[in-house]
Amino acid sequence: MKPMGKAVALLVVLVLMLGVVGTGLAADKGRIIHVSREHKVFAIGESSTPIAKARPGDILVIETEDCFDNQIQSSEDVIESIDFNRVNPATGPIYIEGAEPGDTLVVDILSIEVADRGVMVAIPGMGVLPDEVQTPTTRVLPIVGNKIIWDENLSLPIRPMVGVIGVTPKGDPIPCGSPGDHGGNMDTAEIGAGCRVNLPVNVEGAMLHIGDCHARQADGEVCVSGVECRAVVTVRVDVKKNTGLERPYLEKDNRIMFLGSHEDLYTAAQIAVRDAVRYLMKVKNLSFEEAYLLASAMVEVRISQLVDPLLTIRAEIDQSLLY
């Protein structure tokens, strides 16, 4: 794993110098807290002992393991040989002071620095075309500069993202590989630098978890993996009080994105679209029917991922069209 780069360090310093103010409880200046990938869990909510504590406004520099827990070292390492009890680790839990049930935990993704290699796998019986994969296949891809090297004739620009980001759920722990109203494995490519992730707080301290970073992933994640890699994720945390938020939503550029996860894709779309319609009702003072009409003209419904235990849809609104 590469050390935290100069760009990441400079970004952290600039944020602190500018005294960026958050949306709720953030102080003018926050601390920088480093969190090692050694502190990992495989189910969100399985541990109630925080590995770190942060205040609103603090910056967290979080090391994450790849989704295979670094078990794959070469293209000869077949997927059947790994310990599936060690899949999708997340670094956490991180206690956020002042976060209480009914609040919203705000996580601003400041930067993601990826390792110098990524792993992809195709597995018989998995992905969007499960019956057509005949041979388990592993690729270990070099990452050089800002490029993923496929072969001598093809490279792809990196587009780092966080696959797993969530808080301790209500009730029983949830495996890190599954998404839900707590966040979790939403595998949404938009969760990269510049994205604000809003998560509902279910327990005191919220108990933030982050992991499963990808150097790049297309919408759908069709073969069951992105370019899986170790990473260093730098975030700033804040708390909005008494919001009553039910499930995650994202903010990026001028867009607000509502996420729905369900084992049935149509139901996942209903969850996301319903939240988008309710948002339009609130911000434009519309009836349900009026907001529903407006949604059909401007809400973009997109697939985040099709391969996890629950499927994830996002409903996007370009807010610049509203004002």
Residue 144 belongs to a domain with what CATH number?
2.60.120.580
CATH number at residue 280: 3.10.28.20
pTM of the shown model: 0.90
Whether residue 29 is predicted with pLDDT greater than 80 in this model: the reply is no
Same domain, 156 and 290: no
From 242, 265, 281, the end of a domain falls on: 242
Say how many domains are in the chain.
2
Of all helices (H) and strands (E), which one includes residue 179?
strand 179-180
pLDDT over 70 at 13, yes or no: no
47, pLDDT greater than 70: yes
Shared domain for 304 and 179, answered yes or no, is: no
Q: Residue 5: its pLDDT value, please? A: 52
Query: Is-contact 193 253, C-beta < 8 A?
Result: no
Domain boundary among 223, 242, 261: 242
Per the domain annotation, does 248 fall within a domain?
no
Which pLDDT score, from 0 to 100, does residue 28 have?
47
Q: How confident is the model at residue 15 (pLDDT cuts 50, 70, 90)?
A: very low
Residues 58 and 178 in one domain: yes
* Residue 30 pLDDT: 83
Average pLDDT, stretch 301-310?
97
Residue 175's DSSP bridge partners are: 43
Residue 6 belongs to a domain: no
The model's pLDDT over 176-208, given as tens digits with 9 standing for 90+, comes to 999 999 999 999 999 999 999 999 999 999 999
Average the pLDDT over 279-307 and give the result. 98
pLDDT at 10: 52
Closest CA to 196 of 106, 277, 130, 121: 106
Residue 114's domain spans which residues?
20-242
Tokens of 259: 């996420």
pLDDT of residue 26: 43
Looking at residue 307, the DSSP 8-state letter turns out to be S
Q: Which of 195, 168, 190, 163 is nearest to 308 (CA)?
A: 163
Instruction: Assess whether 131 and 203 both reside in one domain.
Output: yes
Final residue in a domain of this structure, among 242, 266, 287: 242
> Model confidence over 121-145: pLDDT tens digits?
999 999 999 999 999 999 999 999 9
Task: Give dist(CA 57, CA 264) in Å, integer.
Answer: 38
Do both 151 and 268 map to the same domain?
Answer: no
- Shared-domain flag, residues 195 and 312: no
Are 29 and 157 in the same domain?
yes
In-domain check, residue 173: yes
**64 within some domain:** yes
- Asked if the structure places residue 13 within a domain, the reply is no
CB atoms within 10 A of CB 58: 22
Kindly state whether residues 94 and 71 are assigned to the same domain: yes
Which residues lie across from 255 on neighbouring strands? 252, 318
Query: Do 222 and 287 have their domain in common?
Result: no
Residues 273, 237 within the same domain: no
Classify residue 15: in a domain, yes or no: no
SS3 content of the chain, % helix, strand, coil (to 5): 15, 40, 45
The pLDDT of residue 16 is: 42
Residues 269, 151 share a domain: no
**237 shares a domain with 89:** yes
In a domain, 4, yes or no: no
24 has a pLDDT exceeding 50: no
pLDDT at 99 over 70: yes
Structure confidence by residue, pLDDT tens digits, 277-289: 999 999 999 999 9
User: Quick check: is 238 in a domain?
Assistant: yes
Q: Given a cut of 90, is residue 85 above it in pLDDT?
A: no
pLDDT surpasses 80 at 17: no
**Residue 144: count of CB within 10 angstroms of its CB:** 12
d(CA 161, CA 138): 21
